[in-house]
Structure 1
């Protein structure tokens, strides 16, 4: 019970507690003036006789009646909790994160590599949006829904940590990553539907062309934020050799023109993330742009 926020509906009943001293005084006065007695010529016959248990419990019964009287007064006063309750009315936003997991995401221009950095900031982003339903799509040469749109963010974050490069056919199917994310959102009843697409490459495969996926996103009024991840120029990439893993410098190729077009035509924005800190800043900015409307009522 929360005693700190306890209140009483009828507190005036506590005035009856003033009767308790009067009752105690009356009981002891009655006891002192009402002593039945028997005159005996000798006490030999009653010496050593102990009083019965009823006699011994008689004082305790009086105090139990007093305690019962106090409990009755408290009950009449109607104790109740006055703790504050909140009713939250959330407009909510449905979000899908579509993350590139192609082999090039293992490049180490972000620490420890691109895919690990992307997973970390995506998890932080999920934590910062407790009222939104969020889903996860991964893509490489094909695309896959890792987590449908859900409010269970613990499951979502577990699946985020589990994604890795190499689980899908290699390649960069930006059109597939976009189309699968749009498909997850098109049936959503949320007032705002957002897709965050992160990639480090150029569309080079896939059954759906990026322009076709863009038209579908526009048709369903889904806002797309695109992120190009990777340093400019060249980046160290781990290569397996007979002697172990070595680092090889590989050119960074991101189709920024395509990503800008997708973002602009859907009402979103394109970002370039060349480091861990800039990637985090990108997600922080998206978090500020896409605010959830929440109304709180207290009573």
Structure 2
């Protein structure tokens, strides 16, 4: 812990004259009673009130110390931390087309995918991980980072309504999603570079075919793990009609051949997830990837930490006032 205003600690020197005044001069002004002989009181037992008679003064001094520390502005250290850790560079490419609202996975495909991805991210604290989302178009939701708190926050904000509201075109641009993720890995110095591509459909949008994007990934030494999510045949889908929701069965059209070819070309693996349990197991399998060394630079932000000292000073003063006006009250 550092202090921004260390000069305030000089105020602690004021305690020396105060303590001297209290014990040497203040007691002289207190009421006294003359006794002809005090030898009988020398062996008399002392009550607990007598033993803590100076406690209010001690509490007052401690409160003053706490206030001086608060005035000195205690702060956490602000520093850069460079260290070498084990990890790989990973881009998650996630389909956010409106079909991801289908409820064959619980509560639906997109939420199930986000939950498992969040668990995967939390289990790999040393990895550079980024997030690409795609529907009819693709863009980077979060570039690769070891700041997983920010990454998880951005992942949590992923919604399928960006296509429904017209912010991007709806559809499934698998090639564009893969290409966007690959572009984030092309300058990586890590020995292991991985894209985890999750989709529930087949490529029907975009200017770049999935296999062309896969060829680019292969040329850059990037392995692609593809996941086709959704049950076989049909899936339950909520459709908005006349201000309400009507459930309809939509066909599940996953281009398993293209996804399998992408994985095979880039020396990755293709997986099918028809329920939450299978999806979770897939991420656990991918979690067993090899690791490589990389340098990580972390920055810790400085913030003031005076509040506990102010609270302690207030409590000490309240306790001192309470004792002085109750059990240690002096008459007259």
- TM class by smaller structure: 0.5 to 0.7
Q: CA RMSD in A?
A: 1.5
Q: Offset of 1:208 from its aligned partner?
A: 1.1
Instruction: Tell whether the 8 Å contact from 1:91 to 1:191 is kept in structure 2 after alignment.
Output: no
Match for residue 266 of structure 1? 266
Match for residue 97 of structure 2? 102
Q: Secondary structure at the match of 1:195?
A: strand
Deviations 1:150-176 (A, max 9, x none): 010000000110001031310000000
Match among 140, 144, 164 for residue 149 of structure 1: 144
Q: What does 1:39-58 correspond to in 2, within 5 Å?
A: none
Deviations 1:104-137 (A, max 9, x none): 0000000010000000000000000011000000
Structure 2 CA distance, aligned partners of 1:185 and 1:246?
42
TM-score scaled by length of structure 2: 0.61
Q: Offset of 1:291 from its aligned partner?
A: 3.5
Q: Secondary structure at the match of 2:248?
A: strand
Match for residue 284 of structure 2? 284
| Pairing 1:205–2:222 present | no
Instruction: Tell whether the 8 Å contact from 2:263 to 2:269 is kept in structure 1 after alignment.
Output: yes
Gaps of 5+ in 2: 1-81, 163-167, 295-332
Match for residue 217 of structure 1? 217
Structure 2 CA distance, aligned partners of 1:133 and 1:226?
19
Change (3 A) 1:175 1:293: closer
Structure 2 CA distance, aligned partners of 1:91 and 1:186?
20
Structure 2 CA distance, aligned partners of 1:229 and 1:216?
24
Q: Offset of 1:88 from its aligned partner?
A: 6.7
Instruction: Tell whether the 8 Å contact from 1:92 to 1:191 is kept in structure 2 after alignment.
Output: no
Match for residue 192 of structure 2? 192
Instruction: Tell whether the 8 Å contact from 1:90 to 1:292 is kept in structure 2 after alignment.
Output: no
Instruction: Tell whether the 8 Å contact from 1:100 to 1:138 is kept in structure 2 after alignment.
Output: yes
Structure 1 CA distance, aligned partners of 2:292 and 2:219?
24
Q: Secondary structure at the match of 2:161?
A: coil
Match for residue 178 of structure 1? 178
Structure 2 CA distance, aligned partners of 1:292 and 1:157?
22
Aligned length: 208
Q: Secondary structure at the match of 1:197?
A: strand
Structure 1 CA distance, aligned partners of 2:243 and 2:117?
35
Q: Offset of 1:210 from its aligned partner?
A: 1.1
Q: Secondary structure at the match of 2:226?
A: strand
Higher-Rg structure is: 1
Q: Secondary structure at the match of 1:211?
A: helix
Q: Offset of 1:294 from its aligned partner?
A: 6.9
Instruction: Tell whether the 8 Å contact from 2:144 to 2:184 is kept in structure 1 after alignment.
Output: yes
TM-score scaled by length of structure 1: 0.68
Instruction: Tell whether the 8 Å contact from 2:223 to 2:266 is kept in structure 1 after alignment.
Output: yes
Structure 1 CA distance, aligned partners of 2:290 and 2:267?
15
| Pairing 1:248–2:248 present | yes
Instruction: Tell whether the 8 Å contact from 2:192 to 2:291 is kept in structure 1 after alignment.
Output: no
Q: Which shifted more, 204-213 or 126-135?
A: 204-213
Q: Secondary structure at the match of 2:196?
A: strand
Gaps of 5+ in 1: 1-86
Match among 116, 135, 140 for residue 140 of structure 1: 135
Match among 96, 114, 119 for residue 109 of structure 2: 114
The one of the two structures with greater contact order (alpha-carbon pairs below 8 A, sep at least 6) is 2
Structure 1 CA distance, aligned partners of 2:261 and 2:204?
17
Structure 2 CA distance, aligned partners of 1:194 and 1:211?
16
